[in-house]
Amino acid sequence: MAEGQDPSPQLDEIERLALARRVPLETVPRARLEAEAKTFAPQGVVAFAEPIGPVELERLVRPRGRAPFVLVVAGVTDPQNLGALLRSAAGAGVSGVVLARHRAAHLSPSVVKVAAGAVEHLAFSVVGGIPSALGELRRAGLFTIGLAAEADRSLYDLPLDDEPVALVVGGEERGLPPLVRRRCDELVAIPQRGGVASLNVAAAGTVACFEVARRRAMHAALA
C-alpha cells in the first residue's frame, strides 16, 4: 500500500483480509508503488500474485454444469479493450476464453486491472493459431459465431438455444481475419441505427456476450 492515504473502508478491508489469510502487507512510498504497478493510476494498492496459468483447449469445451460458452479473441491488441471484454464475458457467464499467443494482448497488469477481478472467474487457453482452435472447437460440437460489422445476418435473428457455443471477436482495426471468418459456422452483425459506422470491439463483444447469454437462458427456462 502507498503511504499517506486517507483512511477508507476499502483499505481497512484489504488489511483485514491480508491479516486473516497471512498475506504480507507492506506500506511503501507512492513513487515505489507506482513504479511496481505497471498500470495507469494504480489507486494506492498493488497485489503480487502468481500468474494465471492457461489450460488446454480441451478443458474449455468440458466445463462443469451447463453447455460451454466460450469467447474467442482473434487479434485484440489493446489491453484496455481486452480487459473490458473479459469483464463483460465473466458477467455474461462465459466459461472460458481463447487467446492468441502471437500479435495479441495477454493477461498483463493493465488487462487484469481493467477486468476488475474477472480473470479470477474465467479459464484461459492460449493457442498458436485461432483458425486451428476454431476447428477443434467445432469438432468438439461447439457452434461458432463470428462477430462482423458487415455480415448480412443480425445477431438478434440467429437461431440459438442452450447448445455449446463459441463467440468470436476480431481485432480493433481489421476485425476478423479472412481465415477466421471461413472457420466460423455463422457471421452476424449488431444492427446500428445511429451515425457511427461500427462499435468498439469491447462494446460490440459486450452486446454479443449478453445477447448469447440471454438467448441461452431463455431457452433453458422453456426447456
Q: Residue 135: its pLDDT value, please?
A: 95
| Phi, psi of 54, rounded to the nearest 5 degrees | -70, 160
DSSP-assigned states of every residue in 174-221:
TBS-HHHHHH-SEEEE----SS-S---HHHHHHHHHHHHHHHHHHHHH
pLDDT tens series, the chain, 223 aa:
999 999 999 999 999 999 999 999 999 999 999 998 888 778 899 988 888 889 999 988 876 667 899 999 998 999 999 999 999 999 999 999 999 998 899 998 889 989 988 999 999 999 999 999 999 999 999 999 999 988 999 999 988 877 899 999 999 888 899 999 999 999 999 998 876 667 899 999 999 999 999 988 877 666 6
Q: Residue 16: its pLDDT value, please?
A: 97
Domain extent for 12: 1-48
- One domain for residues 104 and 205: yes
Residue 82 DSSP class: H
First-to-last CA distance in the chain? 50
- One domain for residues 217 and 197: yes
- One domain for residues 187 and 209: yes
- One domain for residues 136 and 157: yes
How many domains in the chain? 2
- One domain for residues 21 and 87: no
- One domain for residues 39 and 66: no
Q: 202: domain CATH number?
A: 3.40.1280.10
Q: Residue 193: its pLDDT value, please?
A: 80
- One domain for residues 77 and 121: yes
- One domain for residues 65 and 105: yes
Q: Residue 85: its pLDDT value, please?
A: 96
- One domain for residues 119 and 63: yes
